[in-house]
Every structure is written in C-alpha cells, then in structure tokens.
Structure 1
Amino acid sequence: MEMRSLDRSTLGPENGFSQLLKPWPALNSPFKGAWCVVAPGTSTTRHAHPDYEIFIAMTGEATLSSEGEEITFRQGDIVHFPPHTDHQVINDGAEEFQMYAVWWDQETAGRFLERHDGQDGDRDGQEG
C-alpha cells in the first residue's frame, strides 16, 4: 500500500489550482487524476482537450460552465465531459470548492496495458 496526502504547497494554476496525484512510480492506472481547489472568487481556465474527464465534487459549491450551459455543482455530484467539450469551474461563493478530476484517453489506457502486461510477466517469471 502507498498513500499520498494532499500537499497544499503543490497546488498551482494549472487549469485552475490542481495537485496532480498520478502518475507516481508504484501506481499503474489507466487514468490520471488531480485534486483541485478553486478558491472563493476565482475560476479554472476554460479549456477543452482530447481526453474523457470526470469531475467529482468533494466540498463546497460552484458553477460548472460548459458548451454554453451553466449548472450548480455541489458535494456528491459527478459530471462527465466527452472529449473536446469546453468546461470551466467558477466559484462565486465564500468558501473553497474542492473536487477530484479523473481523465483518460486511448494513449493513457494503452500505456497502462503495456505496464500491466509487463508486471504479469514479471510475476509469472516470464518476459512481458
């Protein structure tokens, strides 16, 4: 088991105040993820990318803006963005908004399978 704790000193302005928690050497996963903190009165950068993405609201409340639509996003909500869908998180409230973002694409999934096949080979005493 290996645990990584939230280190607020690593939070930075990459697409809006996130700490990248994947990858690290011991973790093999078909996705990448980030803990994101959006301070009161701020927002993430509006952006789109070729990845699939899921946001999971952890604390607070914010507004999600995507493709000309705005919805309230609060603790317990989960949203999915297909590839190339623009999105932005806006925190007009008085408290921090925290969420976890998970994203993946075919290349990320392929690298996962390559690493997984290599690990299986090592365990079985065979080359992967």
Structure 2
Amino acid sequence: MMIVKRLENQEFKYEYGCLFRRLMPWEGTAKTSWGSGWVKLAPGEFTTPHNHSMSEIFIIISGQGTMTIGSDYTEVGKGDLIFIDANKTHHIRNTNANELLEVICIWWNN
C-alpha cells in the first residue's frame, strides 16, 4: 500500500518559536518511535531554546544560520546535517538577511 501526504494542503503552525509543520507520523500510517517536521525561519528569526528526551538530527535544506547546542555553536548552511543528543538544549537562528532558513528535523527515542 502507498500512502502519499500532499504537503501543499498542510499549513505550518507556530511551534518552538517558528513556523513548524509536522511530517511524521500522520493519520493512516503505522505508529513509529520517531517523528519529523519541517521548520521555516525568516531572516533574523530563531527557534525557542529547548530540550527533550529524544535524539534529533537537523537537515538544512535552504539558507544559512547558527546552530547552538548547549554552549557550543557553529555556522550551518544548505546541505549540512547536525546531530543533537537527547536532553541537550538547542536552537537555530537564521543569519541570512535575504533568505528563509528551512530545516527538516527527525527525532527518535533512544
């Protein structure tokens, strides 16, 4: 069986201080121990610093920004993959004045 989720019909909601769209899981699919979402940050915007009991990766699909995990930070951009260990406070900021920063997030239980 093939299940297709038409994303153009899905609105972004305000979560974690930014526009956020949950991708997985969704109704009609099997329960999983992981989830995913799509983040959009306008120039100058940043996610609310937060932590959770799940590990996570960020995949930068457009733009540039600064990723902060704990007291460590680094510049990131399109094509970068960032691992975030469970229970580590983290946030990402769009540092590009002209372009959206878009991130796919995937999280899972350890």
Query: One fold, TM greater than 0.5?
Result: yes
Flag the 1:36–1:8 CA change in 2: closer, same or farther, 3 A: farther
Q: Larger % of strand: which?
A: 2
Rg: which structure is higher?
A: 1
- Of 103, 107, 110, the residue aligned with 1:99 is 103
- 1:23-67: per-residue Cα shift (whole Å, max 9, x none)? 223322331000111111111101011111111111111110111
Tell me the CA shift for residue 74 of structure 1. Answer: 0.8
Q: 1:90 to 1:8 in 2, by over 3 A?
A: farther
1:17 maps to a residue whose letter is: L
Output the aligned Cα RMSD: 1.7
**Which residue number corresponds to residue 14 of structure 1?**
15
Residues 1:55 and 2:54 aligned together:
no
Unaligned runs of 5+ in 1: 107-128
Contact 1:38 1:91 in 2 (8 A): yes
Q: Report the structure, 1 or 2, having the larger helix content.
A: 1
Please state whether the residue corresponding to 1:54 is helix, strand or coil: strand
Instruction: Give unpaired runs (5+ residues) of structure 2.
Output: none
Identity of aligned residues (%): 25
TM-score by length of 2: 0.86
